């Protein structure tokens, strides 16, 4: 039915997570899984995980979506962003040498799961719309550098080598992309 999901609207994704939270809806889980698991796997492979580990972590990530569905706040972030952070935290914890302390607790402190912090300059939904608009408006060459740096954790020097461009160009593209993001956030720092 949802074997090849090409896209999913933020509203649809949020409704699916709600369906899991309120009535443990397995069809909703299947639909989320079919869209997100293959993409999380790609993301993890790009960040250096082996095929097997990426698949395993992608599965763990979606299982965490099922288990944590009640704690998802649609007003805080879209489902895609929420899943991005779960996958990130799973990957970090998997690669850690010391398994006792879990770094994802540190991220949870930074992003508390309780009431919305009153100091946010904008509602999360509106902010997220702005981030997407900013991303849509970036030239492809900037998106590429942002992806390599952000997704794959590549050092600027490695990106320069890989793309065959000067280091200064890598830095300026990243700076431009961040400035664009800041413009859309209304951050005048």
Residue 6 burial class via C-beta count within 10 angstroms: exposed 0-12, middle 13-18, buried 19 and up: exposed
Q: Torsion angle of alpha carbons 51, 52, 56, 59, nearest 10°?
A: 50
Residue 88 touches other proteins, criterion: CB under 8 A: yes
| Spatial CA neighbour of 113 closest among 85, 150, 151 | 85
| Residue 87 CB, nearest approach to other proteins (Å) | 8
Q: Which residue has the tokens 């009640």?
A: 70
Using the rule CB under 8 A, which residue among 28, 49, 78, 173 binds other proteins? 78
Residue 158: other Cβ atoms inside 10 A:
14
| Residue 164 CB, nearest approach to other proteins (Å) | 21
CA distance 95 to 77: 26
83: enclosing H helix or E strand? helix 79-95
Q: Which is nearer to other proteins, 166 or 178 (CB)?
A: 178
Using the rule CB under 8 A, which residue among 28, 29, 57, 72 binds other proteins? 29
Residue 169 touches other proteins, criterion: CB under 8 A: no
| Residue 86 CB, nearest approach to other proteins (Å) | 11
| Residue 17 CB, nearest approach to other proteins (Å) | 13
Using the rule CB under 8 A, which residue among 17, 146, 159, 160 binds other proteins? 146
Residue 148 burial class via C-beta count within 10 angstroms: exposed 0-12, middle 13-18, buried 19 and up: buried
Residue 8 touches other proteins, criterion: CB under 8 A: yes
Instruction: Identify residues 102-141 at the interface with other proteins (CB under 8 A).
Output: 102-103, 105-107, 109-111, 117, 119-121, 124, 127-128, 131-132, 135
Residue 71 touches other proteins, criterion: CB under 8 A: no
């Amino acid at each position: 039915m949802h074997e090849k999901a090409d896209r999913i609207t933020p509203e649809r994704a949020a409704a699916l997570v709600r369906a899991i939270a309120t009535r443990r809806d397995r069809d909703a889980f299947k639909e989320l899984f079919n869209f997100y698991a293959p993409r999380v796997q790609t993301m993890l492979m790009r960040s250096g995980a082996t095929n097997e580990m990426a698949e395993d972590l992608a599965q763990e990530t979606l299982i965490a979506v099922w288990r944590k569905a009640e704690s998802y706040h649609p007003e805080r972030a879209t489902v895609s962003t929420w899943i991005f952070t779960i996958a990130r935290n799973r990957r970090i914890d998997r690669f850690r040498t010391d398994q006792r302390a879990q770094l994802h607790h540190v991220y949870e402190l930074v992003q508390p799961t309780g009431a919305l912090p009153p100091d946010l300059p904008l509602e999360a939904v509106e902010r997220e719309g702005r981030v997407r608009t900013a991303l849509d408006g970036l030239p492809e060459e900037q998106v590429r550098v942002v992806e390599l740096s952000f997704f794959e954790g590549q050092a600027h020097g490695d990106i320069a080598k890989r793309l065959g461009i000067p280091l200064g160009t890598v830095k300026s593209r990243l700076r431009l992309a961040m400035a664009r993001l800041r413009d859309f956030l209304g951050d005048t720092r």
